């Protein structure tokens, strides 16, 4: 199968590289900030963690359905589910940034073994969320340009990492949610 080569690849690879650095740095700044950076009117920002839990759950389901459809030979449904998963991931990122820019971090109150489980999941979730950004962007880029050979090579690693990040996001949310003070 012949792959399509786009003369703009280097430009888009550069953009993907910049986003892959800027996004984790912005999130890290928010996680380690001393207090809220943004003030919003109303209490609507306190709904964002719950929205993020729903988004991560839906993303996980859509990722799995996307793979099911491509394995069944239905590229249109695969494209639909993966596109929605990408859009949901983007909405999640915006929501996550807004929440953490405006609200103090909630400390995990669990003790004993569950504390180790929580922090293991949280740390691996965060690290792999950083790692997966360029892979997701590359997978989308290759699919968009109909370079399906490169797309397949990229998603071989992207899918399990993205699914892990999405599922552990839900688990971490469920584990921290009893400690929210709102």
Q: What integer pLDDT is reported at residue 30 of this predicted model? A: 72
Going by pLDDT thresholds of 50, 70 and 90, the confidence category of residue 1 is: very low
Instruction: Say yes or no: domain 9-179 is CATH 1.20.120.
Output: yes
What are 170-180's pLDDT values in tens digits? 999 999 999 99
Kindly give, in sequence order, each residue whose CB lies less than 8 Å from that of residue 16, ignoring residues fewer than 6 positions away: 134, 137, 138, 141
Quote the CA–CA distance of 176 and 165 in Å, as a whole number: 16
Element containing residue 88 per DSSP (H, E): helix 75-102
The least confident of 12-21, 35-44, 46-55, 104-113 is: 35-44
- Tell me the mean pLDDT in the region 123-150: 94
Quote the CA–CA distance of 130 and 28 in Å, as a whole number: 10
């Amino acid at each position: 199968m012949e792959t399509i080569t786009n003369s703009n690849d280097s430009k888009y690879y550069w953009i993907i590289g910049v986003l892959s650095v800027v996004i984790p740095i912005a999130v890290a700044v928010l996680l380690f900030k001393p207090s809220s950076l943004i003030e919003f009117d109303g209490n609507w920002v306190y709904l964002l963690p719950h929205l993020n839990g729903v988004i991560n759950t839906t993303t996980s389901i859509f990722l799995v359905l996307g793979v099911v459809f491509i394995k069944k030979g239905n590229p249109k449904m695969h494209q639909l589910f993966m596109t929605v998963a990408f859009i949901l991931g983007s909405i999640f990122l915006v929501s996550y940034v807004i929440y953490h820019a405006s609200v103090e971090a909630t400390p995990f109150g669990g003790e004993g073994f569950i504390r180790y489980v929580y922090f293991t999941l949280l740390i691996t979730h965060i690290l792999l969320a950083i790692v997966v950004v360029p892979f997701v962007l590359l997978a989308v880029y290759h699919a968009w340009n109909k370079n399906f050979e490169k797309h397949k090579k990229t998603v071989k690693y992207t899918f399990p990492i993205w699914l892990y990040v999405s599922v552990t996001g839900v688990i971490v949310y469920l584990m921290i949610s009893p400690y929210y003070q709102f």
